Amino acid sequence: MARPARIPCEEVLRSMKTVFRENGYDGASMADLAAKTGLAKAALYHHFPGGKEDMAAAVLDEISGWMKEHVLGPLSVPGVPREKLRRLSEALNEFYDGGQSSCLIGAFSIGEAMTLFQGRLGAAVRGLMAAIAKVLIEAEIPERVALSRAEDAVIRIQGALVVARALRDTRPFTRLLRRLPDDLLSALPDAVSDR
Amino acid sequence: MARPARIPCEEVLRSMKTVFRENGYDGASMADLAAKTGLAKAALYHHFPGGKEDMAAAVLDEISGWMKEHVLGPLSVPGVPREKLRRLSEALNEFYDGGQSSCLIGAFSIGEAMTLFQGRLGAAVRGLMAAIAKVLIEAEIPERVALSRAEDAVIRIQGALVVARALRDTRPFTRLLRRLPDDLLSALPDAVSDR
DNA sequence: GTCTATAATAGGATAGAC
DNA sequence: GTCTATCCTATTATAGAC
């Protein structure tokens, strides 16, 4: 056995994730992180010697793991496409807290964080797009259309989160998630759209 | 005549807009703003006594004016809907520099800026949505569908900017703009989508 | 591993000369 | 209107005791 699963560490990561989601990278201060985690700043540096950058990286990795387990994994497993997409909407609704929590892909794609984490951000977007496209291809949708729709889905998810926050109204996001499975699997028009 | 149009001020606003778009609100420092505008910090405070908050507000107001003139105005004027939507795409392409520049609605919807400017952000989103919906209604699209599609368009615009930055590839954004007019005016399916 | 205390620096803001 | 110089606070980061 490699390591005794450190339970408190998960709690610390959860708190840090909240701080970064609410404040972005530049807006999150060590004081914020210390307050939210309940640890002193020095204790945080003990666990994350690289400071804020290390903490943000750890949060992104933790999210990546959660996504692989709860989102990408279930999409890759054999199953009814529509049902899998319905569960995707549910998982996203949970992850983004019904549209109330921001996405770090958006929050970290400006300022210093953009240069620091561009690799992780791009990988996250590409991973989700690929997983959705795979389900659509499984549903007999031509690859080209599947890739286009998958990209559009990720675009809409990100955009709905922005719009929901700007309007202080989560309904644009929840509406989107409700329509997402049908939209992704809808019949092909006439090759007019989906170019 | 009220005032001799101050030309240099526009230049200063342009520079500040760039700084906020690249760094967000928390990530933009007075030093950044001074360097980019070529003015000393004290000179900036002379024009914007409220400091960074004043500067960001001025930038948002300037953008709001540009949008009204180059985006919302042309949409409200009599004309062929498809043609007006095509010009909308062109204006957005110009404003967001082909997808390379971020949108302050997204950048300012986290952290301190979110609470400071929530009114302006919501108004900007609602204004664009309403202008697009009006064109669709003009094109004989039922109001309910028009409102839904207009919301979706704004969502996609915001999302495509996020995705383009995360991927460091502007094509998702340019592709979106190209399809936007057709997508907005496409024939109604079966009342399956657009609920 | 966690704390208090503190160093070092960056950031926001102002004073006062020109 | 613009500058240099300065103040004060917040922020990052570390030292050293427990």
Mean pLDDT of chain B: 94
Distance A33 CA to D14 C1' (A): 18
**Is the per-residue pLDDT at A2 higher than 70?**
no
Structure confidence at residue A190 as a pLDDT band (50, 70, 90) = low
pLDDT digits (tens, 9 = 90+) for B140-177: 999 999 999 999 999 999 999 999 999 999 999 999 99
CA distance A128 to chain B (A): 12
**Is the per-residue pLDDT at B8 higher than 90?**
no
Q: What is the reported pTM?
A: 0.95
Distance B22 CA to D13 C1' (A): 26
Judging contacts by C-beta atoms under 8 Å, the chain B residues touching residue A158 are: 158-159, 162-163
Q: For position B1, what pLDDT does the model report?
A: 47
CA distance B183 to chain A (A): 7
Q: For position B2, what pLDDT does the model report?
A: 44
pLDDT digits (tens, 9 = 90+) for B79-102: 999 999 999 999 999 999 999 999
The protein footprint on chain D, as nucleotides within 7 A of a CB, is 1-5, 10-16
d(CA B182, CA B194): 15
CA distance B6 to chain A (A): 30
d(CA B136, CA B75): 10
**Is the per-residue pLDDT at B193 higher than 80?**
no
Tokens representing A137? 């291809």
User: Which of B102, B104, B155 to probe the A interface (max A CBs under 10 A)?
Assistant: B155
**Is the per-residue pLDDT at B189 higher than 80?**
no
d(CA A116, CA A118): 6
**Is the per-residue pLDDT at B6 higher than 60?**
no
Among A90, A100, A102, A91, smallest CA distance to A178 is for A90
Distance A29 CA to C5 C1' (A): 19
Residue B187, by phi and psi: left (phi above 0), alpha (psi -120 to 50) or beta?
A: beta
Closest Cβ opposite residue B125 in set A25, A155, A166: A166
- Three-state secondary structure of chain A: CCCCCCHHHHHHHHHHHHHHHHHCCCCCCHHHHHHHHCCCHHHHHHHCCCCHHHHHHHHHHHHHHHHHHHHHHHHHCCCCHHHHHHHHHHHHHHHCHHHCCCCHHHHCCCHHHHHHHHHHHHHHHHHHHHHHHHHHHHCCCCHHHHHHHHHHHHHHHHHHHHHHHHHCCCHHHHHHHHHHHHHHHCCCCCCCCCC
Sole residue written with tokens 């666990």: A47
Distance A40 CA to C4 C1' (A): 9
d(CA A131, CA A153): 11
Q: Taking residues A155-166, what's their average pLDDT?
A: 98
Closest Cβ opposite residue A110 in set B107, B159, B192: B107
